[in-house]
A and B are shown apart, each in its own frame.
Chain A
Amino acid sequence: KQEVTQIPAALSVPEGENLVLNCSFTDSAIYNLQWFRQDPGKGLTSLLLIQSSQREQTSGRLNASLDKSSGRSTLYIAASQPGDSATYLCAVPKEDSGAGSYQLTFGKGTKLSVIP
Chain B
Amino acid sequence: DARVTQTPRHKVTEMGQEVTMRCQPILGHNTVFWYRQTMMQGLELLAYFRNRAPLDDSGMPKDRFSAEMPDATLATLKIQPSEPRDSAVYFCASGWEPDRGIETQYFGPGTRLLVL
Contacts and interface: CB of A to CB of B under 8 A. Distances in A.
Contacts of A26: none
Interface in B21-47: 31, 33, 42-43, 45
A46 B104 contact: yes
Nearest to B45: A103
Contacts of B91: 43-44
A36 B4 CA distance: 16
Contact of B56 (A43, A44, A45, A103): A103
Interface string A56-88: 000000000000000000000000000000000
Interface in B49-85: 55-56, 58-59
Contacts of B103: 49
Contact of A104 (B45, B101, B106): B45
Interface string A24-54: 0000000110101000011111100100000
Contact of A93 (B43, B102, B108): B102
Given A43-B110, A89-B43, A102 B31 contact: yes
B13 interface: no
Contacts of A104: 33, 43, 45, 105
A31 B48 contact: no
Nearest to A51: B101
A41 B97 CA distance: 27
A108 B104 contact: no
B48 A103 contact: yes
Nearest to A48: B104
Given A31-B101, A43-B91, A99 B45 contact: no
A116 interface: no
Nearest to B44: A106
A32 B43 CA distance: 18
B9 to A, nearest CB: 9
A32 B42 CA distance: 20
Given A100-B48, A102-B48, 7 more contacts: A44-B91, A99-B56, A102-B31, A104-B105, A105-B45, A106-B43, A108-B42
Interface of B: 4, 31, 33, 42-43, 45, 48, 55-56, 58-59, 91, 93, 97, 101-110, 112
